[in-house]
Amino acid sequence: MELILIRHGQCRTDDGSAYCGWTDAPLTDEGVRQAYALAKKLAQRRLTAVYCSPLKRAKDTAAPIASVQGLVPIEEEGLKELNFGMWESKNWRQIEREYPEEWLQWSRDWKDFVIPGGESARQMYDRTAHKLDEILECYRDDKDAQIAVVTHQGCIRAMACHVLGLGLDAYWRFKMGPGGMAVIEINEGRFGILSHWE
């Protein structure tokens, strides 16, 4: 089985100007172009299913990918980005200025600090890992399945850590730009092997 992790195309905050978790930011024109480029690149494959986050930037990236395959994207709440709560749509400088105590706490314990009104990295990790396990279980008996998951950078980091058996400590070792993708081979024992990352 192959798991294809896909980051949504560019949206207005992908330049680092603000954290965009559950904010429903649309794709930019470049993001739309990236979505269609991904669809073209993946057209050579026979995808079994396309899953996506219900946020617009992920849905609009998944739509052309699924369409080329004759599929309909399956939206899953568990694939949403980290909920930044009160930090949504702010950059780190604003957060440091407006929430100095919380920012310091996050800096000391980024895994378990719960962002006010949002969630912790561990909560997001557990949520996405659980959802990924549910998805993979559906195709357990199909060794040729090719499952595409269109989601967000935080979720991709979490899922890569999970399926490769690295745990949350390896979270910051993965980075994927807008419109990027990775292919992870999953063997029968659910052991993941990273075969492609771009």
Q: Is 102 a catalytic residue?
A: no
- Helix extents (H) in the chain: 29-42, 56-69, 92-98, 100-108, 121-137, 153-163
46 annotated as ligand-binding: no
SS3 20: coil
pLDDT of residue 192: 86
State the catalytic residue, choosing from 81, 119, 152, 162: 81
C-alpha dist (Å) from residue 175 to 60, 79, 97, 198: 21, 17, 26, 9
Residue 13 is predicted with a pLDDT of 72
Q: Which residues in the chain show pLDDT less than 70?
A: 14-16, 189-190
Q: How far is the C-alpha of 173 from the C-alpha of 168, rounded, in Å?
A: 10
162 counts as catalytic: no
> For position 34, what pLDDT does the model report?
98
> Could you tell me the domains of the chain?
2-197 (3.40.50.1240)
